[in-house]
């Protein structure tokens, strides 16, 4: 195949107005209890001023918190610094979720420190840090993610596959196969060392502020970014980066 015959990678498609049923089908993975038909239409067509307002009530809504707990439970994660397991949290689930909802609503919610463990890197002798938030905090993070994720997912590149809903390694391999059949041969392999530990927080928050104007959402995100870390008996607060292993950074 000649150079001129190659097809360039597909561009991100433009979002045109579509019937409500078609929009819901496209966003079938979002939390239906959070994202109403009206919100999905706004997501497709764009909101006035390009920023979303008044989202915190979607985070602390009990149906969203229940679904968030279901996702946390499905991951079979370990207990955090408070030693409360998923099973223990579930024993008094409704009361626990109601307390969380109230704390988020009145602004009194504060996350606890993240328990740090070191795990082996696949194919390497090195280790990487893994942060384990409490079950309570993981539920809040999952609820926050259900509200936040579609807003940013809308604008991601079509050929980005990592850490995105309904996408994975097999999708990336199918794309590679497609490009190989078009006679592409070059591969660029790049890795950012200690990426999550060095993400500049202020720039990250500025990116979020470009799309979200709800101050309580922004404060909640910043609070999670500044969580303390408990490693063995030492408690400290990282000055940069995001906690690896947290729901909101997965």
For position 158, what pLDDT does the model report?
84
CA of 208: how far to CAs of 24, 166, 203, 230, 249, in Å? 24, 22, 9, 27, 13
Transcribe 8-53 into DSSP letters. PPPPPPP-----HHHHHHHTTTS-TTTS-HHHHHHHHH--GGG-B-
Q: List Cβ neighbours of 131 (8 Å cut-off, separation of 6 or more).
A: 114, 115, 116, 229, 243, 244, 245, 246
For position 233, what pLDDT does the model report?
83
- pLDDT tens track for 2-61: 444 445 444 444 444 456 678 888 899 999 889 999 999 999 988 988 999 999 999 999
Percent of the chain with pLDDT over 70: 89
Residue bearing tokens 């070191």: 118
For position 78, what pLDDT does the model report?
92
For position 236, what pLDDT does the model report?
83
- The confidence band for 87, taking pLDDT boundaries of 50, 70 and 90, is very high
**Whether pLDDT at 181 is above 90:** yes
- The confidence band for 121, taking pLDDT boundaries of 50, 70 and 90, is confident
Percent of the chain with pLDDT over 90: 55
**Whether pLDDT at 131 is above 90:** no
The dihedral built from the CA positions of residue 138, 141, 147 and 153, taken in this order, carries a sign that is negative
pTM value is 0.83
Residue 189, number of CB atoms within 10 A of its CB:
4
**Please, are residues 75 and 115 in contact by the beta-carbon 8 Å criterion?**
no
- pLDDT tens track for 210-235: 999 999 999 999 999 988 888 888 88
Average pLDDT of the segment spanning 93-113:
97
**Whether pLDDT at 249 is above 90:** no
């Amino acid at each position: 195949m000649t150079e001129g015959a190659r097809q360039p990678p597909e561009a991100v498609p433009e979002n045109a107005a579509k019937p409500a049923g078609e929009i819901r089908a496209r966003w079938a993975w979002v939390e239906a209890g959070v994202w109403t038909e009206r919100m999905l239409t706004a997501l497709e067509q764009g909101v006035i001023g390009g920023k979303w307002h008044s989202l915190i009530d979607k985070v602390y809504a009990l149906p969203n918190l229940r679904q968030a707990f279901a996702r946390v439970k499905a991951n079979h994660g370990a207990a955090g610094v408070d030693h409360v397991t998923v099973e223990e949290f579930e024993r008094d689930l409704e009361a626990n979720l109601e307390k969380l909802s109230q704390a988020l609503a009145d602004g009194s919610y504060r996350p606890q420190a993240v328990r740090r463990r070191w795990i082996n890197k696949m194919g390497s002798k090195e280790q990487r840090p893994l942060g384990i938030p409490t079950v309570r905090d993981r539920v809040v993070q999952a609820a926050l993610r259900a509200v936040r994720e579609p807003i940013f997912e809308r604008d991601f590149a079509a050929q980005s596959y990592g850490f995105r809903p309904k996408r994975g390694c097999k999708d990336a391999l199918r794309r590679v196969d497609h490009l190989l059949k078009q006679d592409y041969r070059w591969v660029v392999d790049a890795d950012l060392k200690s990426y999550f530990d060095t993400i500049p927080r202020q720039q990250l928050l500025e990116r979020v502020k470009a799309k979200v104007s709800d101050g309580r959402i922004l404060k909640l995100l910043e609070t999670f970014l500044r969580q303390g870390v408990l490693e063995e008996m030492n408690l400290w607060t990282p000055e940069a980066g995001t906690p690896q292993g947290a729901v909101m950074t997965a």
